[in-house]
Amino acid sequence: MKDLIKQLTEAYGPSGYEHAVRNIIRQHIAPHADSIEVDALGNLHAVKNGGGNGLTVMLAAHMDEIGLIVSQITDEGYARFSALGGVMPETLIGSRVVFTNGALAVINIDDWLFHERPDRSHRTLYLDFGVSRRQDVPVRVGDVAGFERPFVDLGQTMLAKSMDDRIGCAILVETLRRLENSPHRVHFVFTVQEEVGSRGAVTAAYHVHPDVSIAVDVTDSGDIPKRKNFEVKMGQGPAIKVMDRQLLAHPGLKRAMVETAKKHKIPHQLEILTVGSTDATAMQLAHEGSAAGGLAIPCRHVHTPSEMVSTSDVQHGIDLLLALLAGPIKLD
């Protein structure tokens, strides 16, 4: 599975430009899905039909990653930019980015005394292409960049630029490949534009009209220095969502996921996230609503160019989804 994770995390795919990621996923799931389609917004829908009178279940993982968009070209040959998604400026200095045309640039700051500046926004940062004239800059205003970092296998952990949420995509691919004899009709949806407002999940959920919705994403990790009031820790199992900034998970679905994990002796945690949300919010509110929740992989350094997850958390996340989908999902 690590070969798939390497392909997905190294692929170019900022919000709105997910086509390369979608093509990789489609190649891997085509032999295993009963039907596959791409909607007008770019979401990839794969369906596995159930063998009984089960529910319509929607599993969602977003294909896009955070990125940058060029807002100005200077006469000296540099470029200013804005963020696509939650890009933290203090994590960017020295990072390399790549554009759709293959152009590479390094990010730097106007003044090295970054910690002393009152303005710590993206306005103090610029892209350097190694040229000295406007006409030699290989990109234009409106062009989009993604971060350039390789996947690294550290054994018990994995490191890459876009674990958020290519690791969720990999979990859905593997779950689809291994799922057999489920009573439910399961929609595996790989969504677009989550980082800029869960836009793909909105249209996808209206199309699927699910009874049960589960977003598979990453979450913060509470085992880093000075991280307070957050119980989730990397390496102690996937986190079952209780709530986040926009969602209260359906109590029956949360209970079903916890009971399934306990029954099958799958390590798990409970997540209460006070900052951020996932595609589950959009799925919960589509049509007359659905029983929505989330399964999250603890991730250190989330929303930076180097995100880290535990290999065992990923495997246990797959195990939990397969066990949950194997039988009835009792919501009451």
Q: Tens of pLDDT along 156-211?
A: 999 999 999 999 999 999 999 999 989 999 999 999 999 999 999 999 999 999 99
Confidence of residue 116 (pLDDT cuts 50, 70, 90): low
Classify each residue of 191-212 as buried b or exposed e, where b means 16 or more C-beta atoms within 10 Å of its C-beta: bbbbbbebbbbbbbbebbebbb
> Of all helices (H) and strands (E), which one includes residue 295?
strand 291-300
Out of 3.40.630.10, 3.90.1150.10, 2.60.120.560, 3.90.870.10, select the CATH number for domain 2-65+161-325: 3.40.630.10
Taking 70 as the threshold, does the pLDDT of residue 124 lie above it?
yes
- Summarised one tens digit per residue, pLDDT across range 215-241 is 999 999 888 887 777 889 999 999 999
Please say whether the beta carbons of 163 and 300 come within 8 A: no
pLDDT at 194: 94
Report how many helices (DSSP H) and strands (DSSP E) the chain contains, helices first.
7, 17
pTM listed for this prediction: 0.94
From the list 200, 228, 196, 216, the residue with the least C-alpha distance to 313 is: 216
Please say whether the beta carbons of 170 and 321 come within 8 A: no
Look over the chain and give the mean of its residue pLDDT values, rounded to a whole number: 93
From the list 222, 232, 219, 95, the residue with the least C-alpha distance to 167 is: 219
Domain boundaries of the chain, sorted by first residue: 2-65+161-325, 68-147
Confidence of residue 144 (pLDDT cuts 50, 70, 90): very high
Confidence of residue 119 (pLDDT cuts 50, 70, 90): low
Cα 27 to chain center, whole Å? 19
User: First vs last Cα of the chain: how many Å apart?
Assistant: 35
Hey, what are 182's tokens? Answer: 């489920």
- Summarised one tens digit per residue, pLDDT across range 274-304 is 888 899 999 999 999 999 999 999 999 999 9
Q: List, in sequence order, the alpha helices (H) in 144-291.
A: 163-178, 199-208, 251-263, 280-285
Q: Where is pLDDT greater, at 312 or 275?
A: 312
DSSP character for 13?
-
Taking 70 as the threshold, does the pLDDT of residue 327 lie above it?
yes
Percent of the residues in the chain that have a pLDDT greater than 90, as a whole number = 86
Give residue 75's identity as a one-letter amino acid code. D
**Rounded distance between C-alpha atoms, residue 170 and residue 265, angstroms:** 22
User: Which residue among 10, 18, 174, 194 is the active-site one?
Assistant: 194
Taking 80 as the threshold, does the pLDDT of residue 115 lie above it?
no
From the list 280, 285, 306, the residue with the least C-alpha distance to 296 is: 280
Look up the CATH number of domain 68-147. 2.40.30.40
**Rounded distance between C-alpha atoms, residue 62 and residue 200, angstroms:** 8
From the list 286, 283, 290, the residue with the least C-alpha distance to 253 is: 290
Examine the residue annotation and report whether 194 is marked as an active-site residue of this protein. yes
Hey, what are 229's tokens? Answer: 């009031």
**Rounded distance between C-alpha atoms, residue 15 and residue 47, angstroms:** 24
Tokens 């190649």 belong to residue? 27
Domains 2-65+161-325 and 68-147 share a fold: no
